[in-house]
């Protein structure tokens, strides 16, 4: 369809990537369903706009706990069981939200669900990247974002379907239904293999070879991949990877005092995660009904209906990006997406400003805002959405991958929480139009950052990533050490 010109997709690797990525449906569903549910929660529980912001943003802030802990957890118990832990935690949170009788009870559910989301956001791309052949890794590792987007669309559809029910029932059903896929995900993971790179780190090379044979096109390719992985593991000087007591110890010390090539990896990983959320995408999705209400669309069903159109635009674009990531590479799609977002947000800002100063709300201005929002989330789904997960999970050296990714995803979650919890407050001070113009400026800065700090990684094995980030580093032994890890 559009993956790398001469690569075909290994069916076993695809099945494993699909199963691991279904975890991301849970986050997407929550983002989508919360945008509509919050309209009914506000009326039913009689809560203020500030409480709405805390309710929405708390999931993102609490997911920081999960994403921060996930690196160490997955180095300890393995990638597979960390996925089960993520689904189980979210399941408990969804039940708490579904049966909530007051704001405090509802907040408790958000906190627990948030921790589960944090775990799943880090672990699905890392597991998939470690399992995937190099030539199709872009497609397979972008699947979590595809599932987030599908989850958002499902959330919108459930909103639309249940919005006619009584106010004290509909939002509880909307939030509680998320417990259903969580059970299926935890069950599905039992049929997945463990990550071959984690197995090698634990000294279980025979098991790793069996997994690599299934995810490679030939025994020779599997053997070559195993040799590369084993070499990278053995070249880690600070610990003996064949000692199965390894639990990821010593990694934070290296991440906090990195050599120059690793510093570049950290800047790239933290930078792309920062801008993914500083773009305001989560807040735009969460608060679209509020934005459209301000634009002049008043009817509840119409508000939820417009969000379904937005969800369809997002889903189609993320699929296009996933299928072409391995052909065109990460950089072109990322730059296209961020430039598109900057222009869309500027259009949305100007359209919103016009509507704010217009008493009769012309149809063309409302249409401009709807088109601009759809364009903004579509460009996000072409660039930053999928590529953030792909890039973060593939650029760290093997021993640092889980905990390095968890550090970058923690930044992602923190910024997402801050943006979600301040979006309405700041917008009330500077108007929605002003807010979107600020976000347009952020995306302009992001484009410059991506251009200068993110090298291309398509078609490279995970063991080759260090060399890409070395450039002209003069410290010979460091360079060799980093590239071999």
In this model, does residue 369 exceed pLDDT 90? no
Q: For residue 192, what is the DSSP state? A: S
- Which of 405, 147, 416 shows the shortest CA–CA distance to 269? 405
Residues 31 and 117: beta-carbon distance below 8 Å: no
State mean pLDDT over 301-319.
79
Dist. CA 348–CA 284, nearest whole Å: 11
State mean pLDDT over 350-357.
82
Residues 291 and 373: beta-carbon distance below 8 Å: yes
In this model, does residue 241 exceed pLDDT 50? no
Residues 136 and 3: beta-carbon distance below 8 Å: yes
Q: What is the pLDDT of residue 42?
A: 83
Q: Is 46 left (phi over 0), alpha (psi -120 to 50) or beta?
A: left
Place of tokens 């053997």: 223
Q: What is the pLDDT of residue 313?
A: 84
Q: Taking CA 122 as the corner, what is the angle to CA 116 and CA 128, rounded to the nearest 5 degrees?
A: 120
Q: Which own/partner contact pairs does 218-222 have at CB distance under 8 Å and 24+ positions apart?
A: 221/133
Q: What is the pLDDT of residue 473?
A: 42
Residues 404 and 244: beta-carbon distance below 8 Å: no
In this model, does residue 292 exceed pLDDT 90? no
Helices marked H in 296-400 = 300-328, 330-356, 363-382, 384-395
Residues 452 and 81: beta-carbon distance below 8 Å: no
Q: What is the pLDDT of residue 184?
A: 82
- Which of 297, 383, 303 shows the shortest CA–CA distance to 344? 383
In this model, does residue 483 exceed pLDDT 60? no
State mean pLDDT over 269-279.
94
Considering only the C-alpha atoms of the chain, give the largest distance between any 2 of them, rounded to a whole number of Å. Answer: 72
User: What is the pLDDT confidence band of residue 484, given thresholds at 50, 70 and 90?
Assistant: very low
User: What is the pLDDT confidence band of residue 7, given thresholds at 50, 70 and 90?
Assistant: low
Written as six digits, the tokens of 295 are 């634009």
Q: What is the pLDDT of residue 442?
A: 96
Q: What is the pLDDT of residue 275?
A: 96
Written as six digits, the tokens of 92 are 């408990």
Dist. CA 269–CA 401, nearest whole Å: 11
Q: Where are the domains of the chain?
A: 12-484
For residue 462, the surrounding DSSP H or E stretch is: none
Q: What is the pLDDT of residue 14?
A: 87
Written as six digits, the tokens of 480 are 């060799």
State mean pLDDT over 153-178.
84
Written as six digits, the tokens of 421 are 């919890």
In this model, does residue 438 exceed pLDDT 60? yes
State mean pLDDT over 453-480.
62
Written as six digits, the tokens of 199 are 């197995």
In this model, does residue 1 exceed pLDDT 50? no
Count the neighbouring beta carbons within 10 Å of the beta carbon of residue 183.
12
Is 401 or 437 the better-scoring residue by pLDDT? 437
Q: What is the pLDDT of residue 251?
A: 64
Is 305 or 198 the better-scoring residue by pLDDT? 198
In this model, does residue 480 exceed pLDDT 60? no
In this model, does residue 10 exceed pLDDT 50? yes
Residues 466 and 475: beta-carbon distance below 8 Å: no
pLDDT, tens digit (0-9, with 9 covering 90-100), for 206-218: 888 888 888 888 8
State mean pLDDT over 144-172.
84
- Which of 184, 39, 30 shows the shortest CA–CA distance to 97? 30
Side-chain half-sphere CA neighbours of 219 within 13 A: 0
User: What is the pLDDT confidence band of residue 331, given thresholds at 50, 70 and 90?
Assistant: very high
pLDDT, tens digit (0-9, with 9 covering 90-100), for 32-85: 888 778 888 888 888 887 888 788 778 878 888 888 888 888 888 888 889 889
Dist. CA 9–CA 285, nearest whole Å: 32
User: What is the pLDDT confidence band of residue 445, given thresholds at 50, 70 and 90?
Assistant: very high
Q: What is the pLDDT of residue 240?
A: 46
* CA dihedral over 335, 472, 395, 69, signed as positive or negative: negative
Count the neighbouring beta carbons within 10 Å of the beta carbon of residue 445.
13
In this model, does residue 131 exceed pLDDT 70? yes
Lowest mean pLDDT among 68-72, 239-243, 381-385, 429-433: 239-243
Lowest mean pLDDT among 22-26, 186-190, 225-229, 283-287: 283-287
Q: pLDDT > 90: what percent of the chain?
A: 14
- Which of 31, 110, 106 shows the shortest CA–CA distance to 289? 31
In this model, does residue 340 exceed pLDDT 90? yes
Side-chain half-sphere CA neighbours of 171 within 13 A: 20
Q: What is the pLDDT of residue 346?
A: 93
Is 417 or 193 the better-scoring residue by pLDDT? 193
17 contact partners, CB below 8 Å, separation of at least 6: 128, 131, 132, 140, 141, 143
Is 253 or 345 the better-scoring residue by pLDDT? 345
Average pLDDT of every residue of the chain: 81
CATH no. of 12-484: 1.20.1250.20
């Amino acid at each position: 369809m559009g993956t790398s010109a001469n690569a075909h997709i290994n069916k076993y690797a695809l099945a494993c990537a699909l199963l691991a990525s279904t975890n991301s449906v849970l986050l997407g569903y929550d983002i989508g369903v919360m945008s509509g549910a919050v309209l009914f929660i506000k009326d039913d529980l009689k809560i203020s706009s500030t409480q709405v912001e805390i309710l929405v943003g708390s999931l993102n802030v609490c997911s920081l706990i999960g994403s921060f802990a996930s690196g160490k957890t997955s180095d300890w118990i393995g990638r597979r069981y960390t996925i089960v832990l993520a689904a189980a935690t979210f399941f408990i949170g969804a039940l708490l939200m579904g049966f909530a009788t007051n704001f405090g009870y509802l907040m408790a559910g958000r906190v627990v669900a948030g921790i589960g989301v944090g775990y799943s956001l880090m672990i699905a791309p890392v597991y998939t990247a470690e399992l995937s052949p190099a030539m199709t890794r872009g497609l397979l590792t972008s699947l979590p974002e595809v599932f987030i987007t599908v989850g958002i669309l499902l959330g919108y559809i459930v909103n639309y379907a249940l919005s006619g029910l009584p106010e004290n029932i509909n939002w509880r059903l909307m939030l509680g239904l998320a417990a259903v896929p969580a059970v299926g995900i935890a069950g599905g993971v039992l049929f997945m293999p463990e990550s071959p790179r984690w197995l090698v780190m634990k000294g279980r090379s025979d098991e790793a070879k069996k997994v690599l044979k299934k995810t490679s096109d030939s025994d020779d390719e599997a053997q070559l991949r195993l040799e590369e992985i084993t070499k990278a593991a053995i070249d880690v000087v600070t610990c003996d990877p064949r000692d199965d007591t390894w639990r990821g110890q010593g990694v934070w010390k290296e991440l906090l005092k990195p050599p120059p090539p690793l510093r570049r990896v950290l800047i790239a990983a933290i930078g792309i995660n920062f801008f993914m959320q500083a773009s305001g995408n989560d807040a735009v999705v969460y608060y679209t009904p509020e934005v459209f209400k301000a634009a002049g669309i008043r009817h509840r069903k119409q508000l939820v209906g417009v969000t379904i159109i937005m969800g369809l635009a997002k889903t189609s674009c993320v699929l296009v990006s996933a299928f072409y990531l391995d052909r065109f590479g990460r950089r072109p799609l990322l730059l296209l997406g961020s430039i598109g977002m900057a222009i869309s947000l500027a259009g949305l800002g100007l359209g919103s400003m016009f509507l704010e100063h217009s008493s009769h709300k012309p149809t063309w201005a409302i249409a401009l805002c709807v088109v601009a929002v759809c364009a903004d989330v579509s460009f996000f789904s072409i660039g930053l959405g999928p590529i953030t997960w792909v890039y973060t999970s593939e650029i760290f050296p093997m021993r640092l991958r889980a905990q390095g990714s968890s550090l970058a995803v923690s930044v992602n979650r923190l910024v997402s929480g801050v943006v979600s919890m301040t979006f309405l407050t700041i917008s009330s001070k500077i108007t929605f139009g002003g807010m979107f113009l600020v976000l347009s400026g952020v995306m302009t800065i992001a484009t410059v950052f991506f251009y200068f700090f993110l090298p291309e990684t398509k078609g490279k094995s995970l063991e080759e990533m260090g060399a890409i980030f070395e450039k002209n580093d003069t410290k010979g032994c460091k360079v060799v050490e980093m590239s071999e890890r």
